[in-house]
Amino acid sequence: MVAEEFWDFLGGQGAYIALLDCFEKAGIALRPEIDAYFAQYNNKKQLTHK
């Protein structure tokens, strides 16, 4: 079992779609924080490749 089949098995019919929806909402809400976090690594990478 993978992905949808697995999550629906664990959480019942529709659990996979509900889980995806939760991750999407969290990603949208936290986008500025996520971008800022990864920007620090992108900046370091750019500095070391010059």
| CA distance linking residue 44 with residue 49, whole number of Å | 9
pLDDT tens digits for 2-41? 899 999 999 999 999 999 999 999 999 999 999 999 999 8
pLDDT tens digits for 23-32? 999 999 999 9
| CA distance linking residue 13 with residue 15, whole number of Å | 6
| CA distance linking residue 5 with residue 16, whole number of Å | 8
Task: Give burial (CB, 10 Å; 0-12/13-18/19+) of 36.
Answer: exposed
Instruction: Tell me the pTM.
Output: 0.64
